[in-house]
Amino acid sequence: MSLAAPLRRRILTPTTLVLATLVAIAAFFIAQRFMYGLGAVTNINPGYPWGIWVVVDIVIGTAFGCGGFALALIVYILNKGEYHPMVRPALLGGLFGYTLAGIAVIVDLGRYWQFYNLLLPWYAQPNSVMFEVALCVMVYVIVLWIEFSPAFMERFGFKKLKATLQRYMWLFIALGVLLPTMHQSSLGSVLLVMGTKLSHLWFTPWLPVLFVTSALAMGYAVVMFEAIVVSKTFRLDSEQPLITRLSRFVGLLMAGWLALRWIDLVVAGNAGLAFAFDLKATMFWIENLLLVFAVVVLLTPQLRADERMSFVAATALLLGGALYRLDSYLVGLQPVGNWSYFPSVSEIMVSIGIIAFEILLYLVFVKTLPVLPARHGAPYGAEDVPAQPAE
Amino acid sequence: MEPIHSPKIDFDKVLGETPDAPISGHCAISRRTLLQFCAGIAASMGLSAAAGVRMAEAAMAPQRPPVIWLHGQECTGCTESLLRAYHPTLEQLLLEVISLDYHDTLCAGAGQQALDHKHKMMAEHKGKYVLVTEGGTPMKDNGIYCKVGGQTQAELIREAAEGAAAIIAIGSCASWGGVQSASPNPTGAVGTREVIPDKTVVTIPGCPPNPYNFLSTVIYLLTFGRPPELDAENRPKFAYGRLIHENCERRPHFDAGRFALEFGDEGHRQGFCLYKIGCKGPETYANCPAIGFGDVGHGAWPVGTGHPCFGCTEKGVGFTKPIHSLAALKTASPPTAYPEPTTAQGDGISAGAAAVVGAAAGVLVGAGAMLLKQMGDDKDSSAKEG
Amino acid sequence: MTNLDRRQFLTRMGAVASGAGASVVATDAEALWREPREMPPEAVGILYDSTLCIGCKACVRACKISNGMPQEIPAEHAGWNEGTWDSATSLSGKTLNVIMAYRNGTMETKDRETDGYAFVKRHCLHCVDPSCVSVCPVSAMRKDPVTGIVSYNPDACIGCRYCVYGCPFGVPQFDISGPFGRINKCQMCSHLLAEGKIPACCDVCPTGASLFGTVAGIREETERRLAAAAGSIYSFPRGELGGDRPANDAPVASYIADVYGPKAAGGTQVHYLSGVPFEKLGLPTVPDRSYARLAEGVQHTVYKFMIAPVVALAGLAFLARRNTAKTHGDGIES
């Protein structure tokens, strides 16, 4: 039984044209990068070898792509079936978040033509967190495509194939929960080696736990954000009741996260750094206040029931989580030597282009494939569905 | 060195009516030539053109200052070197500008006759003559290792210093003992300053020293009646104020890390820095790289010809340190091009990048605001299919 | 939210808080840290004595020639340096070895912290427990088990630059100036060592400020220098410790009574002596243990024999299968 259907709207709109332009600009700079090297396009330097292509496109990008992971966990593992309608759009977001992160990896890798060395057993280096992240993300991208593939099969009428796949889907669902847990925590473990180069406002042995928990919360926030934005943009029915119920869970999760973070800061004796009145402390406070604000809204029944407030809270949570990653990887970095880094225009345009590409593909997919809940429009898939209340 | 002011320089007056005629009947030098020479001396000492004019006036004064020149333990190389100056030639200077009343080497007379003349001149010009000492003074065993006319060198110096208006020690031997003071210093050789510690002795070290440094000092003394500004070793600062290393023509190679590693190797043939084969330029104060050696022409000095400086002007370096051992660097400060560990590096925020980030943030905030507004509107009206 | 909910919430928060507090204390213990690595007994290294260094950059030039690296002129030097000088201002993709200067006040006296100056040579310290080796996903960074030299294999490298990011000393650098960059770092002139020669920087150093030797020999040499009275004449070996080159007989400077290297980040094979505090020379203040131990310790605890992930996968698969069968029967679709 399929409850999803394509939106069947015009693909060529002013929005998609603007997005396509941004993608074209990024493609120009990416071509430059491959012709003249990273130095010609980015501002990365010996002190900051990782710029926003790594931190924004990969670290933050995959966290934004955790919607599929978060919903799979709640729907299939914790057995909350009522969230089922939100799974496929969430998966789609994750699909592009991760796939484009993969593209960003290739653009950013200095020796991309040897990328396959990661898969050659004689080069494998299991001590490396990066090795674990790389393999895990590669597999997860494949899992995401498999998880999403029923949408294609419905659209193009591969009924039998779909049925076969559905029989084994539980395995991919399990992988789809396990793999993000592994690599999102490992994105925190990546920083464990940085004990001397990362401000202890962010450095703690708890980094893997903090990263995976906040990734999960960001996954839910993305789902909430996406549901609200999509329903408003396409003037579809609001999913606010579902969102409100999700809010409480997300709020508790992030409240626990904040508690862990602060207790660890105090116990480790690093809380004083937050009052240093420098850039790092400022960013730390912005990040924390955004998250505290989100938690307060999400845990206050009157506020979270309000669509506008839950939208603002989800946005604050996403910004806070993104900032936490930006700070951990870039702002909190204390390189050897007095280095500074700010991305160049071309570097920013590539990151913007990649995000634009994600949104563009999302728009194209929801308009051509059965992604969004079908009750909003005529079912398009091979299987016609009986009109059925969503909840 | 205090500035010398001369409100108006009347060159015509100094040059006189016949600037190109010899100054006097027995002198070939013209007023114009002398003025040019003095202007050159003044320039090399860092003085104004006005000082050059005053120097010329002093040099052309009818009463030439008498000079008594004593030799001690030495090779006469300083005198030999002086004899080879030709801007003007030394003999012109000695005969026309100063009155060389006694010189152990350049003596017409000999023996008792010469000594008598010396004593006569010292008595006649008491308090007015310039005493120049060349060579070291042995102090061991009561100074018996160098005697003239039965007197030890130390006695001769003390005697002559008594009535001297100014005392100049020429060469490294007279300045600080020179080659014979090198370990084990069998004669206990010392410089003139140690023989007469209560007098001011201007030292012009070098083995031999550049004649210009000596001539410039003499002319300065004549002109202003006092020695030029001196350093702790009583060396005139105009000549010994900077390390050879600072003005060396091979210095860029040092800064770029290009060294001759041994004689005749690629670096040596390329003219690279000679530090690693023992150049003492980094710890030796002298103006050799600026004015060269002797009066031979530029580039003609030890380092210019490919041999490391051995530090002849520097007590404790020349004749003391092995020629090919390393110099201790006395660089005043590291080169400015060297980065500091704290030097700020990396590209900061550019205007363009700030604009792009600002624009992106603006678009996001705007879109968010529009969505919020739409949500407000939707509260009142039901959602529409679009 | 009801009162009960709120109470539940607070109780939960309290539980999380106390649990976190207890565990934070526990992580301070060694439990999570992988066991430390030992210095290879035959390890070779370099002793850099800042008090002997005259900042002549002969080592920088020799390093470039010996390793075939291009000269580097920063944009801010372009005004006065039209290609005559190699004036690199930091380690970079083109510079494996750089001389920097510490300056203070009037810069009168060398090797003095106040109103003084000092030189420092920066290059790979060849850690006993290198972060770059630990973080490299494709084994492009390797530590030789005998000599302890940390070397780089461009054929393996994918250019992720995690080694650049993770090195506590800021040593490995990726050359971003062209389309086909690579990591560049000091490999202690392994190619020269193979020919029986010594690293180029030590070979050309006029004063013996850079001295090649076994780490054991270097340890003894640093002890001797620190024990020598300041001002006394000491025969500083040049080139190679125990080699046959004439020594540089020079007075001993007043050292700060410490050696940088034996303990830094778990120990390094390059040791530093100095007359000014090491942090003034830009040598980072690092703890005595390598954080690679923490990263690997955590990774190996979580992924030991892949037991935890496999068990987790089994549990998740069981739940997913049960729940999809019961609720929807057909897995992911809507």
Residue C182 tokens, joined: 């690579």
ipTM of the complex: 0.86
What is the reported pLDDT for B139?
A: 92
**Side by side, which strands form the sheet with C109-110?**
C98-103, C116-122, C109-110
Give the C-alpha separation, C91 to C56, whole Å: 17
d(C-alpha C90, C-alpha C98), whole Å: 6
Which residues does chain B have within 8 Å of residue C62's beta carbon, measured at their own beta carbons? 257
Say what the pLDDT of residue B155 is.
92
Quick one: pLDDT band at residue B28, thresholds 50, 70, 90?
Answer: low
Q: At how many degrees (to 10) do helices B211-224 and B31-44 cross?
A: 100
Query: Of A387, A391, A373, which Cα lies nearest the Cα of A242?
Result: A391
Tell if the CB–CB gap between C179 and A37 is shorter than 8 Å.
yes
Among C91, C176, C319, whose Cβ lies nearest the Cβ of A77? C319
Q: Where are the alpha helices (DSSP H) in C142-252?
A: 162-166, 190-194, 200-204, 215-227
Residue B27 predicted with pLDDT over 70: no
Q: What end-to-end distance do the CA atoms of chain B give, in Å?
A: 92
Q: Which chains touch B (3 or more CB pairs under 8 A)?
A: A, C
CB under 8 Å to A53, separation ≥6 — which residues? A42, A104, A107, A108, A347, A350, A351
pLDDT(C21) > 60: no
Q: What are phi and psi of A142, to 5 degrees?
A: -65, -45
Look up tokens 């290609």; give the residue: C83
DSSP letter, residue A77: I
| Segment A55-113, tens digit of pLDDT | 998 899 888 888 888 888 888 777 777 777 778 888 888 888 888 888 899 999 989 99
Residues near B59 by beta carbon (within 8 Å), at least 6 away in sequence: B34, B38, B96, B97, B219, B222
| C309-313 long-range Cβ contacts below 8 angstroms, 24+ apart | C309/A178, C309/A182, C312/A178, C312/A181, C313/A174, C313/A175, C313/A178
- Cα(B190)–Cα(B76) distance, rounded to whole angstroms? 17
CATH of domain C44-292: 3.30.70.20
Segments of chain A with pLDDT less than 50: 1-2, 376-391
- Locate the chain C residue with the closest alpha carbon to A154: C333
Residues of C in contact with B328 (CB under 8 A): 250-251
What is the DSSP annotation of C24-57? Answer: HHHHHSGGGSPPPP---TT-EEEEEETTT-----
The residue type of B50 is: A
Residue with structure tokens 């002795």? B201
Task: Tell me whether residues B378 and A352 touch, CB distance under 8 A.
Answer: no
Residues in chain B with CB shorter than 8 Å from the CB of A337 are: 341, 343, 345
Rounded CA separation B118/B358 (Å): 92
Indicate yes or no: CB of B386 within 8 angstroms of CB of A45.
Answer: no
Domain coordinates in residue numbering, chain A = 4-366
In chain B, ranges of CATH 4.10.480.10 domains? 242-331
Report the b/e string of B234-267 with b at 16+ CB within 10 A. bbbebbbebbbbbebebbebbbbbbbbbeeeeeb
**Rounded to whole angstroms, how far apart are CA atoms B41 and B56?**
10
The mean pLDDT of chain B is 82
Confidence of residue C325 (pLDDT cuts 50, 70, 90): low
Name the H helices within A13-123.
Answer: 14-36, 38-41, 52, 61-64, 67-72, 87-108
Domain boundaries B64-239, corresponding CATH code: 3.40.50.700
Q: What is the dihedral of CA A68, A73, A75, A77, to 10 degrees?
A: 150
Class (C level, CATH) for B242-331: few secondary structures
Query: What is the spatial distance between Cα A6 and Cα A382, in angstroms, rounded to a whole number?
Result: 12
Residue-wise pLDDT for B108-141, tens only, equals: 778 888 888 889 888 988 888 889 999 999 998 9
What is the pLDDT confidence band of residue B90, given thresholds at 50, 70 and 90?
Answer: low
CA A54 to chain CA centroid, Å, is 13
Residue B3 binned pLDDT confidence (cut-offs 50, 70, 90): very low
Evaluate the omega torsion of the peptide bond into residue B88 and state whether it is cis, within 30 degrees of 0.
yes
For the whole prediction, is pTM greater than 0.95? no
Distance of CA B168 to the CA centre of its chain: 16
With CB atoms and an 8 Å threshold, state whether A79 touches C319.
yes
Q: Please give the CATH architecture assigned to the domain spanning A4-366.
A: Up-down Bundle (1.20)
CA atoms of A273 and C193, how far apart (whole Å): 46
Q: Testing the interface with B: which of C50, C51, C53, C54 to mutate, by most B Cβ within 10 A? A: C54
CA distances from B264 to A210, B279, B306 (A): 66, 15, 9
